Amino acid sequence: MKKYLIFIVTIVFTLSFIKCADVNLEETPQSLLSPNSFFTTESEFEAALTGTFQALYTGYSGFDYGYPLIMTSGAEDVRSDAGIFRDLDRLSPNGNDQSILNVWRQLYQSIANANTIIGNIKNAKDIPAQRLGELEGQAKFIRAFNFFFLVRWFGEVQLTTFENQTDIENLKQSSVKEIYDSIISDLTDAENKLPLSFPDPGRPTKGAAQALLAKVYLTMTGWPLEDASYYAKARDKADEVIKSGVYDLEPNFSDLWQESNKLSNKEFIFAFYGSIAAGGVSGSHMHIASRHWGNGEGGWGDFYSEDRFFNAFPDSPRKDATFTSVFADGTDYVTAGVQPHMAKYRDAGQTINDDGEGFNVMLRYADVLLIYAEAANMAGGSPSASALEAINKVKRRAMGLNFNTPAPAVDLSSGMSQSDFDDAVINERNWELAFELNRWFDLVRKKMIVQVNQSIHPNVTENNRLLPKPTAQLIPGVLEQNPGY
């Protein structure tokens, strides 16, 4: 059963979920069909599509909980002292780490589900062409989304498709460039087929495909590909999202993290939304996992921030909304003898037991503005007026100001060098996107992992830019371990 998640597809006819942190992933779950499953109707495609999302947001192994976040804890923003997470935080991970194995399985299960949708499109009957395109576009977006995480965490992995996923034991890992080429192909097709919006806000849209494509292009400019030609592509694709008029910054940064605002703000481009409704999607768990366990907070304290990150963070309304530094009983984190905690996930709305109505945002408009600012500067040789305005909007909002009104005391000014502006954008990404699965990947692509961590973790090396692949998944000559592990 070593690789069963790559052989199966989840067809979800009822969306009930296992509420257990220790899911036995070696048992064959109910409602799992082989990738040779044959379906033709719209309802069957919809059920299969639901399976691609379910695999990523269920069972405490995906984005409903903190495993993906813990896998970025080599950055300054995230920390954990829990026994099963400590190695990742201390930059001494191994291929048997629970987080790594479970996230790997979740991503590949979602890919397998998406592959089966894509492979069955030719069998569709009585589905209008536009609707069929929307189904295929969503599947390709999710497949690209999954491979984007896999290639950034693990480098060369197996590029599974509908045609080859039943021969996984002989499918050699693909090069990083081949994986990115596949991601770009999927997102380009998704962009052309997806609508501007869906009634269900949890579905990927045309804007989501464009935003993710901009992020992919920007990542390709850094390590390991280091292809500067993609700066212009990242700039242009981010500009398409900006000029679409579909998205905007939320006026108050703190309002982004209110559960009651999760479906009404214009900033979220793609997010996972938890639900406690019977027969609905899985409930969220980040709200309780990221809360302090004591001082009236009632959380699990599985992960939090680092005081070095908190102390370096510029004082602002954004900082107040990013951290929980004073707990429910009025005790500050220093007196409590712990680290600052994350505030972005605190509000999960209505809860039942450990499940909540919270969310985990994957793409938002502030990220697109900062992608544009960085890419425009690097492609153009210096910061343009539009690049300055993009980052300045984010900076103004962070200080509680009207983001459309110039603020000389806050704004970056013209005349900055390309290098200084680039540093400013990377710093702004650090503050704006804290705890949102970004800082680690920024450190990797900018080759800053050793620089940032050496004083605290002397064992860090350039090998830490990639995580170890799960030991249980390795196949000599087919799927090989990364250097240093």
Give 246-303 pLDDT, tens digit per residue.
Answer: 999 999 999 999 999 999 999 999 999 999 986 556 899 999 999 999 999 999 999 9
Tokens of 17: 């979920």
Residue 90 Cα to chain centre, angstroms: 21
Provide the pLDDT confidence category of residue 35 given band limits of 50, 70 and 90. low
Give the pLDDT score at 130: 96
Q: How far is Cα of residue 341 from the mean position of the Cα atoms in its chain?
A: 20
| Helix-, strand-, coil-residue percentages of the chain, each rounded to 5 | 45, 5, 50
Look at residue 370 in the predicted model and tell me its pLDDT: 99
Query: Lowest-confidence range among 3-17, 117-131, 345-359?
Result: 3-17
179 and 260, same structural domain?
Answer: no
| Per-residue confidence (pLDDT) for residue 31, from 0 to 100 | 31
Residue 26 has pLDDT above 70, yes or no: no
Q: Is the peptide bond before 68 cis (omega within 30 degrees of 0)?
A: no
Residues 81 and 35 in one domain: yes
11-15, 125-129, 199-203, 281-285 — most confident range = 125-129
d(CA 381, CA 378): 5
Helix axes 230-244, 206-220, angle to 10 degrees: 160
For the CA atoms of 132, 133, 136, 142, what is the dihedral angle to 10 degrees? -130
Q: What is the mean pLDDT of the chain?
A: 91
Residues 232 and 371 in one domain: yes
Q: Does position 326 have pLDDT exceeding 50, yes or no?
A: yes
> CATH number for the domain including 256?
1.25.40.390
Task: Give domain status of residue 396, yes or no.
Answer: yes
Report which of 124, 140, 126, 113 is spatially closest to residue 56, judged by C-alpha positions. Answer: 113
Residue 281 pLDDT? 67
Give CA–CA dist 77/441, Å, rounded.
12
* pTM of the entire predicted model: 0.93
**55-83 pLDDT per residue, tens:** 999 888 899 999 999 999 999 999 999 99
Residues 237 and 113 in one domain: no
Cα angle for residues 107, 213, 115 (degrees, 5° grid):
35
Q: How many CB atoms lie within 10 A of CB 352?
A: 12
Q: Is the pLDDT of residue 22 over 90?
A: no
Q: What is the mean pLDDT of residues 362-388?
A: 98
The confidence band for 244, taking pLDDT boundaries of 50, 70 and 90, is very high
Please report whether residue 207 resides in a domain. Answer: no
Angstrom distance (rounded) from CA 99 to CA 105: 10
Residues 234 and 368 reside in one and the same domain: yes
Is it the case that residue 27 has pLDDT exceeding 50? no
CA distance 149 to 32: 24
Q: What is the pLDDT of residue 218?
A: 99
Residue 23 has pLDDT above 50, yes or no: no
Distance (Å, rounded) from C-alpha 192 to C-alpha 137? Answer: 8
Q: What is the pLDDT of residue 37?
A: 65
Three-state DSSP class for residue 276: coil
**The pLDDT value given to residue 164:** 95
| Whether the Cβ atoms of residue 119 and residue 163 lie closer than 8 Å to each other | yes
Asked whether residue 52 is assigned to any structural domain, the reply reads yes
Q: Is residue 456 part of a domain?
A: no
Task: Let me know whether 66 and 154 are in one domain.
Answer: yes
**Domain shared by 237 and 299, yes or no:** yes
Whether the CB-CB separation of 340 and 323 falls below 8 Å is answered with yes
441 & 377 share domain: yes
For residues 128 and 240, membership in a common domain is answered with no
| Each residue's pLDDT tens digit, 90-108 | 999 999 999 999 999 999 9
Host domain of residue 95: 4-20+27-194+464-473
Collapsing DSSP to helix, strand or coil, 282 comes out as coil
Which pLDDT value is given to residue 228? 98
The answer to whether residues 131 and 250 belong to one domain is no
Same domain, 14 and 84: yes
Q: Is 315 part of any domain?
A: yes
Length in residues, the chain: 485
- What pLDDT shows up at residue 279? 57
Site of tokens 């210096």: 382
pLDDT at 3 over 80: no
Number of domains in the chain: 2
| Segment 132-156 mean pLDDT | 98
pLDDT computed for residue 451 by the predictor: 96
288 and 409 inside one domain = yes
The answer to whether 48 touches 7, Cβ cutoff 8 Å, is no
Q: Is residue 376 part of a domain?
A: yes
In the chain, the amino acid numbered 404 is: N
